[in-house]
Amino acid sequence: MAARPTWQGHLRLSLVTCPVALYTATAAAGDVHFNLLHKDTHNRIRMIPTDPELGPVERRDLVKGYQYEKDRYIVITQDEIDSVRLESTRTIDIERFVDEDEIDRLYWDSPYFLVPDGKLAIDAYSVIRDAMKKTGRIALGRVVMHTRERIMAIEARDKGLLAYTIRSHDEVRDAADFFDDIPAHKADPGMVAIAEKIIEQKDGDFDPSEFNDRYEDALRKLIAQKEKGAGRKVKVEEPDDTNVVDLMEALKKSLGAKGGASTARKPAAKKAAPKKKAAAPRKKAS
């Protein structure tokens, strides 16, 4: 396995324990990143820490401060930070099992592949995986990674286990803070009926390969052209103007437009799919 594990330790279910390793299930390698260069020399620019009164300063003279009100800070030393730092735990202890619908999608965070670490782990790992498959439950446990304790949600997937870090309660904003101000309004039943038909016409399978970042693709194309000396600009197609005046007329046009019943592209033939979808378990935000 080429990738390096993010974490190595043990997975424990009561008295059953096996060595495991966590590998990040996503990659940022495809993102386009830029460095800042001087416009004439094309030398990479160094960021120099600067004090507004003293000017440029040495990094060894910098300290960490927590802003508790505007322009007022509490200075925290590295020794003080180290004194409360959590050591990375070597065991994911499964504390409980829940139905996947109990975990709001807002809480699901980064995915990891949780794999057996060595041949001796296979037996115990298989027992835990197969028991979870048969019960269809999500395991919850704790782990400390990079000095931070996180809740892990673990589910059986194919021949292995998929783990997600779960956001803490304080990290998730209350939907009511944003939705409560939306006026109570009943949509026109006729318009809703037309919208439902449009939804049916656009029904299809989820194919992640169809949902590329067009901006990233355009940047890569632009960079490739400049490497060849073309230097041409690449334009990302913009959707049609959505400043609709007559909502009913727009819905009717959408119903018969390209992608409607007579011209709709038939959904692609279903491919062999894993037993569980890659997306996090569904549940409406509360």
Q: List the domain boundaries for the chain.
A: 7-27+85-171, 187-203+213-256
273 versus 241: the higher-pLDDT residue is: 241
- Lowest-confidence range among 83-87, 94-98, 149-153? 83-87
Taking alpha carbons only, the member of 199, 195, 205 closest to residue 267 is: 205
Measure the CA–CA gap between 18 and 92, rounded to whole angstroms: 10
Give SS3 for 218.
helix
Note whether 75 and 65 are within 8 A (CB): yes
Q: What are phi and psi of 45, to 5 degrees?
A: -85, 135
**Among residues of the chain, what percentage have pLDDT more than 90?**
42
The pTM (predicted TM-score) of the whole model is 0.64
Architecture of domain 7-27+85-171 in CATH?
Beta Barrel (2.40)
pLDDT of residue 238: 60
Q: 116: pLDDT confidence band, cut at 50, 70 and 90?
A: very high
Measure the CA–CA gap between 49 and 45, rounded to whole angstroms: 13
Length of the chain: 286
Quickly count: other Cβ atoms within 10 Å of residue 49's Cβ.
10
Is 256's pLDDT higher than 70?
yes
Measure the CA–CA gap between 139 and 137, rounded to whole angstroms: 7
